[in-house]
């Protein structure tokens, strides 16, 4: 019991002693750098590539949307795409809903 108390007394800093504020910032900056390079930066790259894909989308492309709809782009407007999903059936879909451009004959994969 006495050994435990003496160990705890040694582990706690004496009154008036404080750690350097810079010493506390270094680990926080290190953790932020890890988060940036492991999570934030790859997500930004992925979103930039997705926006580029949507901007390059042209009439006649076969696309799959986030809701699972697959169709062919018949008209490109500012905020929407006009999509042909069946003979005589066209719908307007928001640009942000595009999830993938399908090549000719390519089937969507299950995720």
pTM attached to this predicted model: 0.60
CATH code for the domain in which residue 90 is found: 2.30.30
pLDDT-above-70 percentage for the chain: 81
Distances (CA, A) of 10 to 3, 6, 14: 11, 6, 9
Judge if 41 and 64 occupy the same domain.
no
Same domain, 64 and 98: yes
72-86 pLDDT tens trace? 999 998 889 999 999
Reported as a single tens digit per residue, the pLDDT across 6-41 is 555 555 555 555 667 777 888 899 999 999 999 999
Statement to judge: residues 48 and 66 lie in one domain: no
φ, ψ dihedrals at 35, nearest 5°:
-60, -40
Query: How many CB atoms are closer than 10 A to CB 63?
Result: 21
Please indicate, yes or no, whether residues 51 and 64 belong to a single structural domain of this protein: no
70 with 92, same domain?
Answer: yes
Bridge pairing between strands 70-76 and 80-86:
antiparallel
């Amino acid at each position: 019991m006495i050994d435990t108390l003496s160990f705890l007394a040694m582990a706690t800093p004496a009154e008036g002693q404080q750690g350097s504020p810079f010493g506390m910032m270094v680990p926080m900056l290190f953790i932020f750098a890890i988060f940036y390079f492991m999570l934030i930066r790859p997500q930004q790259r992925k979103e930039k590539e997705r926006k580029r894909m949507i901007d390059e989308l042209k009439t006649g492309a076969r696309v799959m949307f986030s809701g699972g709809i697959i169709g062919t782009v018949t008209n490109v407007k500012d905020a929407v795409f006009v999509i042909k999903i069946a003979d005589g059936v066209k719908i307007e879909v928001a640009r942000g809903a595009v999830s993938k451009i399908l090549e000719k004959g390519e089937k969507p994969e299950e995720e």
